[in-house]
């Protein structure tokens, strides 16, 4: 039997785009990834076309409660958006290429800005369950890097992107971090910043690991996000990361960590996250990303 021709990552992403284009002609400028328990923001998307991941070629499916698995195309506060309602994780057995394919697709659809959200454990004892934190930087301890493998310059969203080696010095855009803080203040709450450390999971951490992570400078711990941010920076997208602290990390409080608690805190904080994201997206339509090409 002849072996079927292998379809490379770029072609896979293009096949996904082709399918999406048959369902909606919307040109999104901002992509949003909604993390565990945070899918409710999807209700804000007006005139939404919802496409289940299961119908999109090569999209991974999440098996985890709290991850509905739809791509929504529509508008929020006048800004055309593509929203990934739920994500796949490495700990489910997906490869890093599979986990990041939807982010690659957001860029090919036209997004020049990516807003990633997630649930995290609070390592910094000043963070309480229910706090929203803007990610200032990350530490990737998952053991893999999403940009490893053959380099694919065709993913570049702006001329200087798509390089084999690329800078991660301002992975989380200072401009968008400032905007997010301003908008949070306008909506009526503080938005502190923190360093997000990513682990593979699915086990939560041991107290000894959390002590070690604190000494490395981490404020938050979670099992996602960094790979999406790495491929977004490879493509030249501007990135904002918002993390919802759903629990004190292991050993910070004596209570055991429970996934249902993560979901419950997510539901309770959804209102604030929705207000903040809507205010940020309104500003994106008013003042477009300066890096966007004409
Ligand atoms: N650790 C890792 N991931 C998480 C946590 C945690 O404590 N809470 C929510 N996601």
Average pLDDT (54-66) is: 82
Does the Cβ of 247 fall within 6 Å of ligand 1? yes
> Residue 4 contacts by C-beta under 8 Å, 6 or more apart in sequence?
none
Looking at residue 264, its pLDDT comes to 82
Does residue 66 carry a pLDDT above 70? no
d(CA 109, CA 256): 42
Does the Cβ of 249 fall within 6 Å of ligand 1? yes
Looking at residue 270, its pLDDT comes to 85
Does the Cβ of 121 fall within 6 Å of ligand 1? yes
CA 76 to chain centre: 17
Does residue 292 carry a pLDDT above 80? no
* Contact (CB, 8 A) for 36 and 63: no
Residue nearest to atom 3 of ligand 1 (CA): 222
Residue nearest to atom 9 of ligand 1 (CA): 120
Residue nearest to atom 2 of ligand 1 (CA): 222
User: What is the tens place of the pLDDT at every residue in 255-284?
Assistant: 888 888 878 887 788 889 999 999 999 998
d(CA 22, CA 19): 5
Looking at residue 261, its pLDDT comes to 80
Of residues 63 and 260, the one with the higher pLDDT is: 260
Tell me which of 37, 65, 119, 253 to substitute to probe ligand 1's pocket, judged by most ligand atoms within 8 Å of the beta carbon.
Answer: 119
Looking at residue 289, its pLDDT comes to 55
Calculate how far, in angstroms, residue 223's C-alpha sits from the geometric centre of ligand 1: 7
Looking at residue 266, its pLDDT comes to 77
Residue nearest to atom 10 of ligand 1 (CA): 120
Calculate how far, in angstroms, residue 162's C-alpha sits from the geometric centre of ligand 1: 31
Calculate how far, in angstroms, residue 172's C-alpha sits from the geometric centre of ligand 1: 20
Looking at residue 39, its pLDDT comes to 82
Looking at residue 294, its pLDDT comes to 38
Does residue 287 carry a pLDDT above 80? no
Ligand 1 nearest atom to the CA of residue 122, by list position? 7
Looking at residue 268, its pLDDT comes to 81
User: What is the tens place of the pLDDT at every residue in 192-223?
Assistant: 999 999 999 999 999 999 999 999 999 999 99
* Contact (CB, 8 A) for 59 and 94: no
Does residue 290 carry a pLDDT above 80? no
**pTM (2 decimals)?**
0.94
Calculate how far, in angstroms, residue 264's C-alpha sits from the geometric centre of ligand 1: 13
Calculate how far, in angstroms, residue 222's C-alpha sits from the geometric centre of ligand 1: 5
d(CA 74, CA 9): 26
CATH topology assigned to domain 9-286:
Rossmann fold (3.40.50)
Looking at residue 252, its pLDDT comes to 85
Mean pLDDT (the chain) is 91
Does the Cβ of 228 fall within 6 Å of ligand 1? no
User: What is the tens place of the pLDDT at every residue in 100-111?
Assistant: 999 999 999 999
3-state helix, strand, coil in the chain (%, to 5): 35, 25, 40
4 band by pLDDT with thresholds 50, 70 and 90? low
Tell me which of 117, 124, 247 to substitute to probe ligand 1's pocket, judged by most ligand atoms within 8 Å of the beta carbon.
Answer: 247
């Amino acid at each position: 039997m002849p072996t079927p021709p292998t379809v490379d990552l770029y072609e896979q992403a293009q096949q996904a785009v082709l399918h999406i284009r048959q369902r909606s002609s919307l040109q999104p400028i901002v992509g949003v990834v909604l993390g565990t328990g945070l899918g409710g923001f999807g209700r804000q998307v007006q005139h939404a076309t919802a496409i289940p991941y299961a119908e999109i070629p090569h999209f991974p499916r999440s098996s985890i409660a709290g991850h509905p698995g739809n791509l929504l195309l529509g508008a929020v506060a006048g800004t055309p958006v593509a929203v990934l309602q739920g994500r796949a994780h490495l700990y489910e057995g997906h490869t890093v290429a599979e986990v990041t394919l939807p982010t690659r697709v957001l860029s090919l659809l036209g997004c020049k800005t990516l807003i990633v959200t997630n649930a995290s454990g609070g390592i910094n004892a000043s963070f309480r369950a229910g706090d929203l934190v803007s990610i200032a930087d990350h530490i990737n301890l998952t053991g893999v890097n999403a940009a490893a493998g053959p380099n694919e310059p065709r993913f570049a969203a702006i001329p200087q992107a798509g390089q084999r080696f690329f800078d991660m010095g301002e992975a989380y855009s200072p401009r968008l971090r400032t905007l997010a803080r301003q908008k949070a203040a306008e909506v009526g709450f503080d938005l502190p910043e923190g360093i997000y450390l990513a682990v593979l999971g699915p086990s939560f951490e041991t107290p000894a690991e959390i002590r070690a992570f604190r000494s490395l400078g981490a404020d938050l711990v979670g099992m996602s996000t960094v790979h999406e941010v790495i491929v977004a920076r490879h493509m030249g997208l501007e990135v904002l990361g918002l993390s919802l602290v759903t629990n004190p990390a292991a050993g910070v409080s004596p209570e055991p960590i429970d996934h249902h608690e993560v979901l419950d805190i997510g539901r309770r904080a959804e209102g604030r996250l929705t207000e903040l994201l809507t205010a940020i997206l309104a500003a994106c339509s008013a003042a477009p990303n300066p890096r966007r090409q004409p």
